[in-house]
Amino acid sequence: MNAVAVPDAEDRYVHALLRAYLDLPDTPARARPPDRTLARSLFIQAVPLDLVRAAFALASARRASRPPTSPPLQPVRCLHYFLPVLEELRLSNPKPAYLARLLARRSAPLTPTP
């Protein structure tokens, strides 16, 4: 009988986090080793995946809402880009309703505001 590898909680967390990251606008097509290392570190720190996704949504919304006259931003090159926003959310300890709104906004297309 062949044993089938079942992903553990860390593998599922890392995969879900990296998938959410790579699905964002202006992010790389593939995760790099430092991205995987950071994702594992966030798992070890027990950072809720919804909080990470909310940080992605907030940072993406901020990028998209820049004035049209602003110079274009460079693409996001690594997961570390989102750490300041994640830390901002961790420190503010947002209510679940706020996180839900951020995540709902993330599912809607991001368009710049005029």
Model confidence, pTM: 0.80
Distance of alpha carbon 80 from alpha carbon 65, whole angstroms? 21
Backbone region of residue 5 per phi and psi (left: phi > 0; alpha: psi in -120 to 50; beta: other values):
beta
pLDDT at 111: 44
pLDDT at 104: 75
| Domain chopping of the chain, boundaries | 9-66+77-107
What pLDDT tens digit does each residue of the chain (114 aa) get? 555 555 799 999 999 999 999 999 899 999 999 999 999 999 999 999 989 998 998 898 888 888 889 998 899 999 999 999 999 999 988 777 877 777 776 554 444 433
pLDDT at 28: 94
